A and B are shown apart, each in its own frame.
Chain A
């Protein structure tokens, strides 16, 4: 098997070189055009909500006639009353249910149970553009446990409070939908119309730049919504402690929700620093009896700050060779499986400092396949962190003799 491997490696390298040489691809600009086109066609049905609210008085009148025949909004058969005069009976501003129905005995009860919400067909506010398989119109929410495609009702207690000050209760629910390896989420307010149907008020908060998860929410007695928002959604090999949480508070303004309390952004994660790895020269000595050669690898790590690093780790060193026993005492073998990829860890590096490391390795030249080495930031609790600047934590190893 060991002699198959290098041969296959060689053949696949040739295969890759040949294929890559023939490929060009439509290019990043084409990706941009595609994305723009998709965003344009995603123009959302938010206006529909307003229309539904505007025709509420008509529907209510029909219901009061008691004949059970409710005319559909499209053909409200009041020949003497053209549509523009419809909002006339409302003295104050329209658009909120309370203002549109000041004289009715009570605003519709918008307290919706989980079972009722799951049984209804609802319209959802738009999802982020990359959540392509997440519908917005005529959606039947699925319970979260049946985690599949399409929008789901998250396993978070529903919030009940009077959001729009109409004297009746509305419902706040967290809806989610799988996208890629993670999921998109949004907190949505639901109400009922005069006929008792579930209608969507608006999104309270959804994903945005730097806001990649929503993990908790509560409503307050005075009609506000508090949401716990998170800057990243740990997925795949990302540790959960990378995420930062904040509580932000939102309030209904008549046509949407706006943030009224709490921090507005996450800013730069104060736990991260900017490490830069440079060097990468590998000097090989004469071949030994077993075909391996002694190698000396020089790497320089600079901590550009602003955070001191408790331990510097090196990843992918094992692709270069085996560390000498003496070096292993300085760069101590690091346990596998913490997803940092580090093979060994050494002393820390304060912010603003730079240090050069020389590693002595046993190198099998036939196993060298364009290796690169990466530097890893560990804190004093052995947690590894990502870097403030992407791309300069890795350096290609170059054989110089």
Chain B
């Protein structure tokens, strides 16, 4: 047990010094939300090209996570669950139903939340929009969500080889599109 104390002291500051309560400490939903909400929204926004709607979808996914948080908190990677739910929602009827209702509100929010994107971001959004959906998903999950080929394959329910091919083609297309559409970034 003394070794335990030493190990704790060596932990990096980011590894939340959890209060020593009980034996099974589940992470709080609030911490989880704050740690992952913006990333999930970013990934989804890059995919559907609408950050305000992505924020709605992510909020819905986190809301569903909250409904089963006592169980989800014990999962190895609860954010994978949330991400998948959010992406499923993006492809589901839920999104279409909400679209009309929130149309006005969204227009307002889009300007409020995402004012003044840099040319680089605009260029990436424009390039992503030109990729086929499969390639776009693979690229975003790989570069924005930092998922491995294996993890993307398991989320998308396809073989690893398929993901590799999506990534490969998505990458080539992006490289072409980005080098044409911006300048001063290709310094490598």
Which A residues contact B (CB, under 8 angstroms)?
Answer: 1, 3-9, 11-12, 14-16, 18-20, 22-28, 30-32, 34-35, 128-130, 132, 180-181, 209-210, 212, 232, 236-238, 268, 274, 276, 278-280, 300-302, 304, 336, 352-354, 369-370, 386-392, 395-396, 398
Q: Which residues of A contact B185 (CB under 8 A)?
A: 7, 11
Which of chain A's residues has its CB closest to B29's CB?
A28
- Which A residues lie within 8 Å of B163 (CB)? none
7 CB contacts below 8 A, A to B, read A15-B46, A25-B55, A26-B59, A128-B68, A238-B75, A392-B18, A395-B12
Interface string of B27-39 (1 = CB under 8 A from A): 1011001100111
Please report the C-alpha to C-alpha distance between residue A187 and residue B23 in the assembled complex, in whole angstroms. Answer: 33
CB <8 Å contact, B172 and A4: yes
Least Cβ–Cβ distance between B70 and chain A, in angstroms? 5
A25 pairs with B73, CB closer than 8 A: no
User: Is there an interface contact between A1 and B38, defined as CB atoms closer than 8 Å?
Assistant: no
Contact of B27 among A23, A387, A390 (CB under 8 A): A390
A35 close to B63 (CB less than 8 A): yes
Identify which of B1-9, B100-108, B129-137 touches chain A: B1-9
**Chain B 67-104 interface residues, beta-carbon cutoff 8 Å to A:** 67-68, 70-71, 73-76, 78, 80-81, 84-85, 88
List 9 other contacts, CB 8 Å, given A236-B80, A386-B76, A390-B75: A8-B143, A15-B120, A130-B67, A180-B84, A236-B154, A276-B4, A389-B24, A390-B78, A392-B18
- In the complex, which residues of chain A have a beta carbon less than 8 angstroms from the beta carbon of B68? 128, 130
Closest 10 CB pairs of A and B: A354-B3, A12-B143, A302-B7, A28-B33, A130-B67, A31-B63, A19-B42, A278-B10, A20-B38, A278-B11
| Residue in A5, A23, A276, A336 whose beta carbon sits within 8 Å of that of B8 in the complex | A276
Residues of B within 8 A of A274 (CB): 23
- Which chain B positions have C-beta within 8 A of A237? 154
Q: How far is the CB of B180 from chain A (nearest CB, A)?
A: 14
- Pick from B37, B55, B81, B175: contact of A7, CB below 8 A: B175
Chain B interface residues (CB < 8 Å from chain A): 1, 3-4, 6-8, 10-12, 14-16, 18, 23-27, 29-30, 33-34, 37-39, 41-42, 45-46, 51, 55, 58-59, 62-64, 66-68, 70-71, 73-76, 78, 80-81, 84-85, 88, 113-115, 117-118, 120-121, 124, 139, 143-144, 146, 150, 154, 168, 171-172, 174-175, 178, 185-186, 188
**Interface residue SS majority, chain B:** helix
Partner of A391, one of B16, B45, B63, B139: B16
Chain B residue numbers with a CB within 8 Å of A7 are 175, 185-186, 188
From B8, B15, B29, B81, residue with most partner A Cβ within 10 Å: B15
With A25-B55, A25-B58 as given contacts, are A19 and B11 in contact (CB-CB < 8 Å)? no
Q: How far is the CA of A302 from the CA of B10 in the complex (A)?
A: 11
Q: Are B12 and A300 in contact (CB under 8 A)?
A: no
Q: Which residues on B sit within 8 Å (CB–CB) of A392?
A: 11, 15, 18
Nearest opposing residue in chain B for A369, CB measure: B146
> Bound complex: CA of A396 vs CA of B12, how far in Å?
8
Query: Which A residues lie within 8 Å of B58 (CB)?
Result: 25
**Given A4-B171, A181-B84, A12 and B144 touching (CB < 8 A)?**
yes
Residues B25 and A389 in contact, CB atoms below 8 Å apart: yes
Known: A25-B58, A130-B68, A278-B8. A1 touches B172 (CB 8 A): yes
Least distance between B99 CB and chain A CB atoms (Å): 18
A391, B18: Cβ atoms under 8 Å?
yes
User: A16-B39, A31-B66, A392-B18 in contact; A354/B121 too (CB < 8 A)?
Assistant: no
Contact A20 B42 (CB under 8 A): yes
Residues of A within 8 A of B27 (CB): 390-391
Complex Cα gap A367–B10 (Å): 26
Residues from chain B with a CB closer than 8 A to the CB of A396 are 12, 14-15
What is the CB-to-nearest-CB distance from B172 to chain A, in angstroms, rounded to a whole number?
7
Q: A22-B113, A392-B18 are in contact. Are A12 and B124 (CB under 8 A)?
A: yes
Is B34's CB under 8 angstroms from A19's CB? no
| The one of B30, B42, B80 that contacts A23, using a Cβ cutoff of 8 Å | B42
Q: Is A20 touching B12 in the complex (CB atoms < 8 A)? A: no
Contact, CB under 8 Å: A5 / B171:
yes
B3 cross-chain contacts in A, Cβ below 8 A: 302, 352-354
Q: Do A390 and B144 have beta carbons less than 8 Å apart?
A: no
Instruction: Report Cα–Cα, A290/B17, bound state, in Å.
Output: 40
Assess whether A279 is in contact with B10, with CB atoms less than 8 Å apart: yes
Chain B residues in 8 Å Cβ range of A398: 12
Q: How far is the CA of A28 from the CA of B32 in the complex (A)?
A: 9
A180 x B4 contact (CB < 8 A)? no
Q: Are A25 and B15 within 8 A (Cβ)?
A: no
Q: Contact between A390 and B73 (Cβ–Cβ < 8 Å)? A: yes
The distance in angstroms between the C-alpha atoms of A270 and B8, with both chains bound, is: 24
Contact of B24 among A6, A279, A353, A388 (CB under 8 A): A388
Which residues of chain A are near B71, meaning CB under 8 Å? Answer: 209-210, 212, 232
* Residues of B contacting A11 in the complex (Cβ-Cβ under 8 angstroms): 120, 124, 178, 185
**Bound Cα distance A128, B69 (Å):** 13
Which B residues are CB-close (under 8 A) to A387? 76
Are B6 and A180 closer than 8 Å at their CB atoms? no
